[in-house]
């Protein structure tokens, strides 16, 4: 599950400031992308670092029920990879915005992050992009 507040910030910013038309949580596409821009054949996933197994400072391994969480997160990662491959195979372009790009000590300047995303949306040759924080 994406962190919904981050998602709303992203969507609100892109939609209002840049005048994009988009759809949310398209369940008919693999992985139900959080944001779909049909005109640009682009989808955007906003991934929580813990849930989607991003190896960064926001995603620490829980000390209780460790095996349960590791299995769950590894399942999520497999599912993500499968969804992305299916989307690419269907000529969609796939962007992933990690939570740590927007939150925590390594977060990017928000306007710069959105600029990167918008540049990517407008570049049909770029099939994928991943935006993350700098803190590793």
| Beta carbons within 10 angstroms of residue 100's beta carbon | 25
Q: Is 6 in the site for Zn ion (CB under 5 A)?
A: no
Q: Is 52 in the site for Zn ion (CB under 5 A)?
A: no
Q: Is 93 in the site for Zn ion (CB under 5 A)?
A: no
Q: Which stretch binds Zn ion (CB under 5 A): 30-38, 45-53, 63-71, 119-127?
A: 45-53
H-only helix segments in the chain:
4-18, 66-89, 110-121
Q: Which of 19, 54, 53, 20 is nearest to 35 (CA)?
A: 20
Q: Which of 42, 97, 100, 117 binds Zn ion (CB under 5 A)?
A: 100
Q: Which of 36, 46, 56, 113 binds Zn ion (CB under 5 A)?
A: 56
Q: Which of 22, 51, 92, 98 binds Zn ion (CB under 5 A)?
A: 98
Question: Could you say which residues in the range 61-90 bind Zn ion, by CB under 5 A?
Answer: none
Q: Which of 115, 131, 126, 134 is nearest to 41 (CA)?
A: 126
In sign, the C-alpha dihedral spanning 116, 120, 121, 123 is positive
The footprint of Zn ion (CB under 5 A) covers: 49, 54, 56, 58, 98, 100
């Amino acid at each position: 599950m994406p962190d919904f507040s981050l998602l709303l910030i992203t969507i609100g910013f892109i939609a209002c400031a840049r005048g994009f038309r988009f759809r949310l949580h398209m369940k008919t596409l693999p992985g139900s992308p959080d944001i779909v821009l049909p005109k640009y054949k682009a989808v955007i996933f906003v991934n929580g670092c813990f849930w989607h197994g991003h190896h960064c400072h926001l995603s620490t391994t829980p000390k209780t029920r460790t095996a349960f969480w590791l299995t769950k997160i590894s399942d999520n990662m497999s599912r993500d990879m499968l969804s992305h491959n299916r989307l690419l195979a269907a000529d969609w372009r796939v962007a992933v915005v990690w939570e740590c790009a927007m939150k925590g000590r390594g977060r990017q300047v928000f306007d710069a992050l959105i600029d990167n995303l918008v540049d990517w949306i407008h570049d049909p040759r770029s099939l994928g992009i991943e935006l993350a924080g700098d803190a590793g």
